[in-house]
Chain A
Amino acid sequence: MNYFPDEVLEHVFDFITSHKDRNSVSLVCKSWYKIERYSRQRVFIGNCYSISPERLIARFPGLKSLTLKGKPHFADFNLVPHDWGGFVYPWIKALAKSRIGLEELRLKRMVVSDESLELLSKSFVNFKSLVLVSCEGFTTDGLAAIAANCRFLRELDLQENEVDDHRGHWLSCFPESCTSLISLNFACLRGEVNLGALERLVSRSPNLKSLRLNRAVPLDTLQKLLMRAPQLVDLGIGSYVHDPFSEAYNKLKIAIQRCKSIRSLSGFLEVAPHCMSAIYPICGNLTFLNLSYAPGLHGNKLMKLIQHCRKLQRLWILDCIGDKGLGVVALTCKELQELRVFPSDPFEAENAAVTEEGLVLVSAGCPKLNSLLYFCQQMTNAALITVAKNCPNFIRFRLCILDPMKPDPVTNQPLDEGFGAIVQSCKGLKRLSLSGHLTDQVFLYIGMYAEQLEMLSIAFAANSDKGMLYVLNGCKKLRKLEIRDCPFGDAALLEDVGKYETMRSLWMSSCEVTLGGCKSVAEKMPSLNVEIIDESEQMEFNLDDKQKVDKMYLYRTLVGHRKDAPEYVWIL
């Protein structure tokens, strides 16, 4: 029963913006469900195969913004075959046919064709924002369609996509009448762009706040762009190679000094390290610095740059910074919340320049640290215990020791105690990735202490099924579990199949689960899709239940088996 008219409730619901909260609101009663669904404008779908576009449209007629994720996370590491799925076209087609006034589309790990982009660009008059992250399947022709047809486009944000660059004139396709751009990120494109068109576009975009250029944009164009857009808040530099005694460099210095609003800096896709001093004037205000694509910047030049960045909250860097460089970070960046250290040479663990020492330094110097991604050569239990003590606020803790299954080099022990300390200390931990030599013991700790854990990534760990069972039994809030190369078999998989309905997905590859085990899950849980991915063609000839399954991906769904799976995917 409602004590308020619907309009009042709707107004109240407007203040509830998080997806989780809105989902909760919709469950209160039928009346609230109805009001909520008509007023809902933003929908997040973490697995595009969990629901169909038709049902989405039916439930939320007022939809304006849709976020979709496709492939499982391990697809990033080439564990999922190329054409496994995650096609956005059916979604766009269904939305286009409906009366949904789509304004924003955000996609991650999906296959996006030029055809999709073209349909998108022509179907929604008020379309404003396209964000593509780790997607593939499109070319610059598709981007040209977006540029040409979306008259009120505010945001075109391409992050780490595989784009076939036809070196066309997609930038020139923005009509002269397009003056609404707020955000333009094309850093991941490899081809040439029409520099004149870019300059003109930036000139007529007074609201432009975020601009991330690709490698093909040279320094003197950068300087011209900055002169035209001193209001930028987020800048991604393409090429930063020039002669420090040149006119262009002097002009750049002047242009940068005018940009008093820049808070976020990235790129340096090509860099001449001796010219970084031009950047110093804006470093003092930076809250986000991403140098993870700038291997040319290291050593003293890098450290000097960082020493200017006292307000940094997020730092993405390559491991050539070294433990010493991380020491500089620890001394300088007292506001640091997020640190990501990527490997500059992923196959050369010996040359990896960061170890446990760097991490300990940062943990000691940066008490606000709550998010970590750290690729390193080695880690010790002692270091992890210290880090856990220094930084009890971790929400995300992802550690990757480059040499799989490497133990603590000082004690030769597994890293169970170290990670155990992390989960025990960091009561708000939501995401954890493990590496190094680990036994079942670490999973006992995770099950016991990681009460808020939502996502867990495991590789080359554990001794037995017990490991997986500790996690499944203990982590009540677990949503995503991804496992590779662990000795977990059917006993663990089948212990509590109901659990998987409370999760988004489970990935297991190179483990001990058998075809029979997977079939059993599928039989008992019709609300799950259990997919076996097998490219070896062995499945066709050998349907022995005892056969081990190379890759299994299961996920809850309301719409049953998907129809677009390729030949080598068996949905049980």
Chain B
Amino acid sequence: MGKEGLGLEITELRLGLPGANSDSGHRCDVMIDKNEKKRAFSEILEDDVEEGNRKKTTIKSQVVGWPPVCSYRKKNSFSDKDGSAKASKMYVKVSMDGAPFLRKIDLGMHEGYSHLAKALEKLFGEALRNAESCEFVPIYEDKDGDWMLVGDVPWEMFMESCKRLRIMKRADAKGFGVLRSKEALN
């Protein structure tokens, strides 16, 4: 499910034109500028369009704490639909090079890499816009403390082993063995 179609492209977070943001009728100015010309994670989104059709649910808004439903209620009223009673929240910190604040994201709320990508884009839209056409690489720290490229393993495995996320500038990636893994896959 998660990884097969993604391959290398997940590493390329190019800042391209926003896709038709048709699913969100709202302006959500605080999160992303409506006129934002750049979009990160574009490759991930394109790849997952077919997958997206399978899943009826789209995660509309990754705003933390919205809608204002208390966490106890969230855990206990909505889980029954597809039998996915997510036992615990999987909040991980997400940092982005150049952004002033870290954010937190609940991995359990996402269906796969593409949804994660959309969410990260919403969280860091402003910072991405200000970053002036750098390219970014999403990496994560796993249980062993190693920094890994996002996208290699199936989504469930990723959810379980990811401790924190970082959106790193490609320029800084050299020391992280990213280029090496690119070559290995070739």
A residues adjacent to B (C-beta < 8 A): 74, 76-79, 134, 160-162, 188, 269, 292-293, 295-296, 318, 342-349, 375, 400, 402-406, 433, 437, 457, 459-460, 484-485, 510, 534-538, 542, 547-548, 550
Which of B2-10, B59-67, B173-181 faces chain A?
A: B59-67
Query: Whole-angstrom distance between the alpha carbons of A296 and B69 in the complex?
Result: 19
Query: Which residue of the partner chain A has the closest CB to B24?
Result: A403
Query: Which residue of the partner chain A has the closest CB to B68?
Result: A77
Contacts of A345 in B (CB 8 A): 78, 81
10 A-B residue pairs with Cβ-Cβ distance under 8 Å, sorted by A, are A76-B68, A76-B70, A78-B65, A292-B73, A342-B73, A346-B78, A403-B60, A510-B30, A537-B102, A550-B101
User: Is the pair A538, B74 in contact by a Cβ cutoff of 8 Å?
Assistant: no
User: Is the pair A405, B29 in contact by a Cβ cutoff of 8 Å?
Assistant: yes
User: Is the pair B28, A404 in contact by a Cβ cutoff of 8 Å?
Assistant: yes
User: Is the pair A76, B71 in contact by a Cβ cutoff of 8 Å?
Assistant: yes
Query: Pick the contact of A400 from B63, B67, B93, B101 — CB < 8 Å?
Result: B67
Tell yes or no: B100 within 8 A of A by CB: yes
User: Is the pair A406, B25 in contact by a Cβ cutoff of 8 Å?
Assistant: yes
Query: Which residue of the partner chain B has the closest CB to A162?
Result: B72
B residues adjacent to A (C-beta < 8 A): 25-30, 57, 59-61, 63-74, 76-78, 80-81, 91, 93, 95, 100-102, 104, 109
User: Is the pair A318, B70 in contact by a Cβ cutoff of 8 Å?
Assistant: no
User: What 8 pairs across the A-B complex have the smallest Cβ distances?
Assistant: A77-B65, A76-B70, A536-B102, A160-B72, A536-B101, A79-B65, A346-B67, A485-B30
User: Is the pair A343, B30 in contact by a Cβ cutoff of 8 Å?
Assistant: no
Query: Pick the contact of A78 from B71, B80, B93 — CB < 8 Å?
Result: B71
Contacts of B102 in A (CB 8 A): 535-538
**Known A295-B77, A400-B67; contact A188-B25, beta-carbon cutoff 8 A:** no
User: Is the pair A293, B76 in contact by a Cβ cutoff of 8 Å?
Assistant: yes
Query: Pick the contact of A347 from B26, B27, B57, B65 — CB < 8 Å?
Result: B57
User: Is the pair B67, A318 in contact by a Cβ cutoff of 8 Å?
Assistant: no
User: Is the pair B74, A346 in contact by a Cβ cutoff of 8 Å?
Assistant: yes
User: Is the pair A161, B69 in contact by a Cβ cutoff of 8 Å?
Assistant: no
User: Is the pair A292, B77 in contact by a Cβ cutoff of 8 Å?
Assistant: yes
Query: Whole-angstrom distance between the alpha carbons of A542 and B78 in the complex?
Result: 41
Query: Pick the contact of B66 from A134, A404, A437, A537 — CB < 8 Å?
Result: A404
User: Is the pair B80, A296 in contact by a Cβ cutoff of 8 Å?
Assistant: yes
User: Is the pair A77, B101 in contact by a Cβ cutoff of 8 Å?
Assistant: no
**Known A347-B61, A348-B60; contact A160-B73, beta-carbon cutoff 8 A:** yes
User: Is the pair B78, A404 in contact by a Cβ cutoff of 8 Å?
Assistant: no
Query: Which residue of the partner chain A has the closest CB to B106?
Result: A78
Query: Which residue of the partner chain A has the closest CB to B23?
Result: A350
User: Is the pair B80, A460 in contact by a Cβ cutoff of 8 Å?
Assistant: no
> Which of A269, A433, A536, A548 is the most central at the interface, judged by chain B CB atoms within 10 Å of its CB?
A536
Query: Which residue of the partner chain B has the closest CB to A345?
Result: B78
Query: Pick the contact of B80 from A295, A404, A484 — CB < 8 Å?
Result: A295
Query: Whole-angstrom distance between the alpha carbons of A548 and B99 in the complex?
Result: 13
Query: Whole-angstrom distance between the alpha carbons of A160 and B72 in the complex?
Result: 6
Q: How far is the CB of A517 from chain B (nearest CB, A)?
A: 16
Contacts of B63 in A (CB 8 A): 404, 485
Contacts of A162 in B (CB 8 A): 71-72
Contacts of A292 in B (CB 8 A): 73, 77
Query: Whole-angstrom distance between the alpha carbons of A343 and B60 in the complex?
Result: 15
User: Is the pair B64, A295 in contact by a Cβ cutoff of 8 Å?
Assistant: no
Query: Whole-angstrom distance between the alpha carbons of A432 and B162 in the complex?
Result: 40
